[in-house]
Amino acid sequence: MASQISPGVYTTITDLSTYVRAVPSTVGLICAITKKGEDNVLKFVSGRSEIINEYGEPNINEYGKSYGQGMYCAYNYLGESGSLYFMRCMPDNASFSNIKINVDLATTDSTSIISVSYTDSLNDIQDVRTALGWSTGTKYPLCVLYPIGRGDYYNSLSVRFTSHANPILSGIYVLDVYENQKDGTEALIESFEISFDPSIRDSTGDSIWIQYILNAYSNVLRCEMTTDGEENFSEGYNQAIKIYDREIGDVTIDVGAGTSMLTDTKQDFTQWISSSNPYIYCVEATDQRGYKLYGWLGALGTDDDSVTIFNDRISGATQGWIGDTSVFDSAVDSPITYVIKKSYTLISSAFTSDLPTPLKKGSDGQLLDTQGEFDPTIAIQLLSQGYKGILSSKFNVANYVDEVLDTENIYFSLVFDCGYPSDVKTSISELVQTRRDCVAILDNGDMTSFNKSITNRTNVHTFNNYFCSMFEEYNKVYDSFTGADIWVSAVYHMSYLLPRNDNVGEIWFAAAGFNRASIDSIKELRFNPKLGERDQMYLKQLNPIVKFNPGYTNWGQLTTQAKPSALQDLNIVRLVLYCKRALEQYCRYFIFEQNDYLTWNQVSGNIVAFLADIKSRRGLYSFNVDVGATDYEKKTKTFHVNVILEPTRVVEKILLNFFIK
Question: Of 570, 604, 632, which closes a domain?
Answer: 570
Q: Could you report the per-residue pLDDT of 265-287, keeping only the tens digit for each?
A: 999 999 999 887 788 899 999 99
Predicted confidence at residue 370, as pLDDT, reads: 85
Domain presence at residue 370: no
Domain presence at residue 566: yes
On whether both 281 and 237 belong to a single domain, the answer is no
Residue 52 has pLDDT above 60, yes or no: yes
On whether both 252 and 199 belong to a single domain, the answer is no
Q: How far apart are CA 645 and CA 576, in angstroms?
A: 8
On whether both 41 and 125 belong to a single domain, the answer is no
Q: How far apart are CA 624 and CA 643, in angstroms?
A: 6
Q: Could you report the per-residue pLDDT of 452-502, keeping only the tens digit for each?
A: 999 999 999 999 999 999 999 999 999 999 999 999 999 999 999 999 999
What does DSSP assign to residue 39? B
Domain presence at residue 17: no
Average pLDDT on 544-573 reads 97
CATH code assigned at 551: 3.40.50.11780
Winning range, highest mean pLDDT, from 286-300, 362-376, 414-428: 414-428
131-135, 210-214, 514-518: least confidently modelled range: 131-135
On whether both 57 and 179 belong to a single domain, the answer is no
Predicted confidence at residue 18, as pLDDT, reads: 76
SS3 track for 258-317: CCCEEEECCCCHHHHCCCCCCCCCEEEEECCCCCEEEEEEEEECCCCCEEEEECCCCCCC
Question: Of 358, 385, 411, which closes a domain?
Answer: 358
Q: Could you report the per-residue pLDDT of 388-443, keeping only the tens digit for each?
A: 999 999 999 999 999 999 999 999 999 999 999 999 999 999 999 999 999 999 99
Domain presence at residue 260: yes
10 Å Cβ neighbour count for 85? Answer: 20
CATH code assigned at 260: 2.40.30
Domain presence at residue 397: yes
On whether both 638 and 544 belong to a single domain, the answer is no
On whether both 197 and 311 belong to a single domain, the answer is no
Predicted confidence at residue 331, as pLDDT, reads: 86
Provide the whole-model pTM.
0.90
Confidence of residue 155 (pLDDT cuts 50, 70, 90): very high
DSSP string, 175-214: EEEEEE-TTSPEEEEEEEEEES-TT-B-TTS-B-BHHHHH
On whether both 54 and 82 belong to a single domain, the answer is yes
Domain presence at residue 212: yes
On whether both 234 and 311 belong to a single domain, the answer is no
Question: Of 358, 384, 406, which closes a domain?
Answer: 358
Domain that holds residue 152: 99-242+347-358
Predicted confidence at residue 202, as pLDDT, reads: 86
On whether both 336 and 438 belong to a single domain, the answer is no
Domain presence at residue 431: yes
Q: Could you report the per-residue pLDDT of 605-621, keeping only the tens digit for each?
A: 999 999 999 999 999 99
Predicted confidence at residue 164, as pLDDT, reads: 84
On whether both 416 and 274 belong to a single domain, the answer is no
Residue 1 has pLDDT above 60, yes or no: no
Report the number of distinct structural domains present in the chain: 4
Confidence of residue 108 (pLDDT cuts 50, 70, 90): low
Q: How far apart are CA 557 and CA 568, in angstroms?
A: 9
On whether both 333 and 396 belong to a single domain, the answer is no
Domain presence at residue 179: yes
Residue 165 has pLDDT above 60, yes or no: yes
Predicted confidence at residue 315, as pLDDT, reads: 66
On whether both 224 and 266 belong to a single domain, the answer is no
Predicted confidence at residue 332, as pLDDT, reads: 79
Burial 430-442 (b: 16+ CB within 10 A, else e): bbbeebebbbbbb
